[in-house]
């Protein structure tokens, strides 16, 4: 605890951020948050403010930063439209469990409820999409509320928090004292695990013939990658990932059998309905993972390792639930499970992979047709990055292809909008990712549709010199919607065709080097040139216009009905 | 689990916090569940508030809803109970023209038989209060309606559970950590 003379609420905000170890914030100034920006000006040597070109960009950048660094992403915005522009990013962070603290300015407290200029009930609006939110009308409340905000955002199952501060509270003088928050009596971030349930889980696992693991982001958020690896290696159980679990286990690990879900791998989906024990680790049985719940893993006993009690039995009823952080529960489990191998069972995954390779993967990665495929672009990136890059993807076909084929050696390297499916996520998220991991290569893979939703963030890249590499896979369509129109709406391509601008010129307008390629022979050299560049770089690849992503579980179908064509 | 709609009383113990009502009701809104009644008051513990919410849903849904409520930061604990597991009451007020009280002798009998109370009498109107189950307040409504009800209002359900809800223990446990 420190004591100083009286300072303004605004300065207190900055001091709180510094106490929490924040060194970078993303935001956009405006009337109701000007006192805080004025203080930021004084502290700019300690606190780097990144001016994005839209408040939504600030939220996604903060998400990208949080996802690769494991730290809390911080966003500042003004009242009214500044605050409402945060909502998409907040909702995205909520559904993908990303720790984020958003600080918004609000009109002076005597004006609350008067429909003042740029007044907006952001507390009301953000309530359903925040882990917690709070409005401050007195400067003296600032330290306690911000301490609480950081604690809530990062503890337990992380999530976004919004703190709304009226302008008068920013001006008001107060005595600054800061005490970090480490408990709230009505909040249990990590439920106590039951050794009894772990015993039961171990017994089930030890007696199983065809066990199967599906793991999610819980492994990454719990920093439990090594415990997880130890567990699968001891038990020899094949493990598949959800889209947000990607990169928790290195891509070339022999027990990594691929992705589950709508565009996941063939084997993991089909064999979900053949395993005898399904071990779900830090995942939440999203509908894109399970397909039709009536036919999901009905033959299997299900064990769920989960930090959030509200996720247990939400979508899938489980036989054993082990609450707690997998970082704590997996070591207990490892003690109790027997060393085993499941060669025949794993061979089944391999034979399904072979089928998938012949029907889908071969044509994606090594196409014989003239048109460039999204898959071969990812393969070429893999060959140069060697799986060491952070890959940020947007939403749609290119996202599925990227997550299916990108290889990863390090955790926290896959940044994508999973739960909310926010188009426009990738470009700003890549900025945050690069700032959260400045020594690593950050490659954003984006479709031509999503790119244009937040394209103005090229301005942020130019202004900051943030050396992200941007790959736009251009098929001149909103590809995923077009695929659905082709498959389920008799090819009625309602508003999915895009007439696009000259993307390279736009990049060059922001003084970002760029290139557009249409031919295979230029692909490898262009990707090399891009990755070798020390500066931001833009690469547009014109890919086949009407290619589809397979395998696919049609909406409402069973995981075992996954289609290869 | 059955698909039968049941009446459940949800009891939520919370810290006093602006916006918490919004946060809790949003959980029902998101799932398109209608709230039949909602009452908030001080609980048996200082500065701890209690919400009593009545909904008609299937059991699998109420289980999930209660967990989502309990997950909110300022919620200490949330429970759900069937009618059999709680003691519950509602209060209704009936405003009737005073003339009826004197002209229609029958009305006094109705009040007496239904164990209702006359709260106030003025030259123009008098007010009857009845506390009990929904059927009882409805029965009284039906009996009084022919005499002309000037106003009628019924409170949300208040309820206490038969089983213990050990909020103090939960609070102590969380503070110990």
Closest partner residue to B73 among A186, A308, A314, by Cβ?
A186
Q: What is the pTM of this model?
A: 0.96
pLDDT tier for residue A1 given thresholds of 50, 70 and 90: low
Rounded CA gap, A29 and A9, in Å? 17
B145/A contact by beta carbon, under 8 A? no
pLDDT tier for residue B59 given thresholds of 50, 70 and 90: very high
Determine, for residues B67 and A128 on separate chains, whether the beta-carbon distance falls below 8 Å.
no
Range of the domain at A58: 6-175
Residues of B in contact with A185 (CB under 8 A): 76, 171, 174-175
Which residue in chain B has the smallest CA separation from A136?
B18
Residue B177 lies inside a defined structural domain of this protein = no
Q: Which residues of A are known to be catalytic?
A: 55, 117-118, 167, 480
Determine, for residues A123 and B68 on separate chains, whether the beta-carbon distance falls below 8 Å.
no
Q: What is the pLDDT of residue B16?
A: 84
The 3-class secondary structure across A367-394, one letter per residue, is: CCCCCCCHHHHHHHHHHHHCCCCEEEEC
Rounded CA gap, A314 and B27, in Å? 14
Tell me: do B166 and B141 sit in the same domain.
no
Which residue in chain B has the smallest CA separation from A309?
B67
Chain A residues bordering chain B (beta-carbon distance below 8 Å):
123-124, 127-128, 131-135, 152, 183-188, 308-310, 312-314
**What does the buried/exposed string (b/e) look like for B45-79 if buried means 16 or more CB atoms within 10 Å of the residue's CB?**
eeebbbbbbbbebebebbbbbbbbbbbbbbbbbbb
Residue B78 lies inside a defined structural domain of this protein = yes
- Contact between A80 and A119 under an 8 Å Cβ cutoff? The reply is yes
The whole-number average pLDDT for the span A451-459 is: 98
Range of the domain at B103: 88-154
Residue A553 lies inside a defined structural domain of this protein = no
- Reading phi first (left if > 0) and then psi (alpha if -120 to 50, else beta), residue A308 is in beta
Q: What is the pLDDT of residue B171?
A: 82
Quote the percentage of chain A above a pLDDT of 90. 99
Closest partner residue to A132 among B18, B73, B177, by Cβ?
B73
CB neighbour list of residue B156: distance below 8 Å, 6 or more residues apart: B37, B38, B39, B52, B54, B90
Rounded CA gap, A18 and A16, in Å? 5
Strand A277-281 and strand A211-215: pairing?
Answer: parallel
Burial of B44 (0-12, 13-18, 19+ CB in 10 A): exposed
Determine, for residues B73 and A152 on separate chains, whether the beta-carbon distance falls below 8 Å.
yes
From B47's Cα to the closest Cα of chain A, the distance in A is 13
Residue B98 lies inside a defined structural domain of this protein = yes
Determine, for residues B68 and A132 on separate chains, whether the beta-carbon distance falls below 8 Å.
no
Residue B53 lies inside a defined structural domain of this protein = yes
**Which of A128, A120, A192, A134 has the alpha carbon at shortest distance from A165?**
A134
**pLDDT 10s digits, A104-135:** 999 999 999 999 999 999 999 999 999 999 99
From B175's Cα to the closest Cα of chain A, the distance in A is 5
Residues of A in contact with B18 (CB under 8 A): 135
* CATH number of the domain residue A474 falls in: 3.40.50.970
Give the count of domains, chain B.
2
Tell me: pLDDT of B177 over 70.
no
**pLDDT 10s digits, B29-40:** 999 999 999 999
Which residue in chain B has the smallest CA separation from A151?
B73
Tell me: do A381 and A324 sit in the same domain.
no
**Total residue length of chain B:** 177
The whole-number average pLDDT for the span A7-19 is: 98
**pLDDT 10s digits, A67-79:** 999 999 999 999 9
The whole-number average pLDDT for the span A307-318 is: 97
Residue A380 lies inside a defined structural domain of this protein = yes
Tell me: do B72 and B10 sit in the same domain.
yes
Give the count of domains, chain A.
3
Tell me: do A451 and A490 sit in the same domain.
yes
DSSP string, B72-140: STTEEEEEEEEGGGEEEEEEEEEEEEHHHHHH-HHHHHHHHHTT-EEEEE-SSEEEEEEEE-HHHHHHH
Q: What is the mean pLDDT of chain A?
A: 97
Strand A442-447 and strand A469-474: pairing?
Answer: parallel
């Amino acid at each position: 605890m420190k004591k100083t003379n009286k300072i303004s609420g605004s300065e207190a905000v900055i001091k709180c951020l510094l106490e929490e170890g924040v060194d970078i914030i993303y935001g956009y100034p405006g009337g109701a948050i000007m006192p805080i920006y004025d203080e930021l000006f004084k502290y700019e040597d300690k606190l780097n403010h990144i001016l994005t070109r839209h408040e939504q960009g600030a939220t996604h950048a903060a998400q990208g930063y949080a996802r690769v660094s494991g730290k809390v992403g911080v966003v500042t915005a003004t009242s009214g439209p500044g605050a409402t522009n945060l909502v998409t990013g907040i909702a995205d962070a909520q559904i993908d469990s990303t720790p984020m603290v958003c600080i918004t300015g609000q009109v002076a407290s005597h004006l609350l409820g008067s429909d003042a200029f740029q007044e907006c009930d952001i507390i009301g609006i953000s309530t359903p999409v925040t882990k917690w939110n709070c409005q401050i009308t007195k400067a003296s409340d600032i330290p306690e509320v911000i301490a609480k905000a950081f604690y809530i955002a990062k503890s337990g199952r992380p999530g976004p928090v919004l703190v709304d501060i009226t302008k008068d509270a920013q001006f008001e003088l107060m005595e600054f004292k800061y005490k970090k928050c480490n408990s709230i009596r009505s909040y249990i971030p990590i439920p106590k695990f039951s050794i009894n349930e772990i015993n039961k889980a171990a017994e089930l696992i030890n007696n199983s013939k065809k066990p199967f693991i599906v793991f999610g982001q819980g492994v990454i958020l719990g920093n439990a990658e090594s415990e997880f690896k130890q567990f699968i290696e001891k038990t020899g159980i094949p493990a598949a990932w959800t889209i947000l679990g990607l990169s928790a286990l290195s891509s070339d690990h022999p027990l990594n059998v691929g992705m589950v879900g709508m565009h996941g791998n063939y084997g993991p989906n089909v064999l979900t309905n053949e395993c005898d024990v399904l071990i779900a680790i830090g995942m939440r049985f999203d509908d894109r993972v399970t397909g039709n719940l009536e036919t999901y893993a009905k033959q299997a006993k299900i064990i769920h390792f989960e930090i959030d009690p509200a996720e247990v039995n939400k979508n899938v009823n489980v036989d054993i639930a082990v609450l707690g952080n997998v970082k704590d529960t997996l070591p207990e489990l490892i003690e109790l499970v027997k060393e085993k191998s499941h060669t025949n069972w794993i061979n089944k995954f391999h034979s399904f992979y072979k089928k998938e390779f012949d029907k889908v993967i071969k044509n994606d990665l090594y196409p014989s047709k003239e048109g460039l495929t999204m898959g071969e672009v990812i393969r070429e990136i893999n060959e140069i990055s060697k799986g060491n890059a952070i890959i940020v993807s947007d939403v749609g076909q290119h996202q599925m292809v990227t997550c299916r084929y990108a290889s990863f050696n390090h955790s926290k390297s896959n940044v994508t909008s999973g739960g909310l499916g926010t188009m426009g996520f990738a470009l700003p998220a890549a900025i945050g990712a690069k700032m959260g991991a400045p020594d690593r290569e950050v490659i954003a893979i984006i479709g031509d549709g999503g790119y244009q939703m937040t394209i103005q963030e090229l301005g942020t890249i130019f202004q900051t010199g943030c050396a992200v590499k941007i790959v736009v896979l251009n098929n001149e369509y909103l590809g995923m919607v077009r695929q659905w129109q082709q498959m389920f709406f008799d090819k009625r391509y309602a508003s999915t065709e895009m007439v696009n601008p000259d993307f390279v010129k736009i990049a060059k307008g922001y003084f970002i080097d760029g290139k557009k390629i249409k031919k295979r022979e230029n692909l490898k050299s262009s990707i090399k040139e891009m990755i070798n560049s020390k500066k931001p770089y833009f690469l547009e690849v014109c890919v086949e216009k009407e290619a589809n992503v397979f395998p696919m579980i049609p909406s409402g179908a069973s995981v075992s009905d996954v289609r290869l064509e | 689990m059955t698909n039968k709609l049941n009446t459940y009383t949800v009891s939520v113990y919370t810290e006093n916090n602006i916006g918490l009502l919004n946060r809790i009701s949003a959980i029902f809104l998101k799932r398109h569940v209608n709230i039949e009644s909602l009452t908030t008051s001080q609980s048996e513990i200082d500065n701890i508030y209690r919400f009593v919410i009545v909904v008609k849903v299937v059991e699998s849904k109420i289980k999930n809803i209660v967990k989502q409520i309990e997950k909110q930061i300022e919620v200490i604990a949330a429970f759900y109970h069937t009618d059999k597991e709680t003691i519950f009451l509602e209060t209704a007020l009936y405003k009737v023209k005073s003339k009826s009280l004197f002209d229609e002798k029958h009305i006094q009998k109705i009040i007496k038989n239904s164990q209702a109370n006359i709260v106030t009498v003025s030259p123009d109107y008098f007010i009857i209060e009845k506390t009990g189950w929904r059927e009882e307040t409805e029965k009284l409504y039906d009996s009084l309606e022919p005499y002309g009800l000037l106003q009628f209002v019924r409170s949300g359900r208040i309820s206490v559970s038969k089983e213990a809800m050990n909020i103090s223990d939960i609070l102590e446990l969380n503070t110990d950590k």
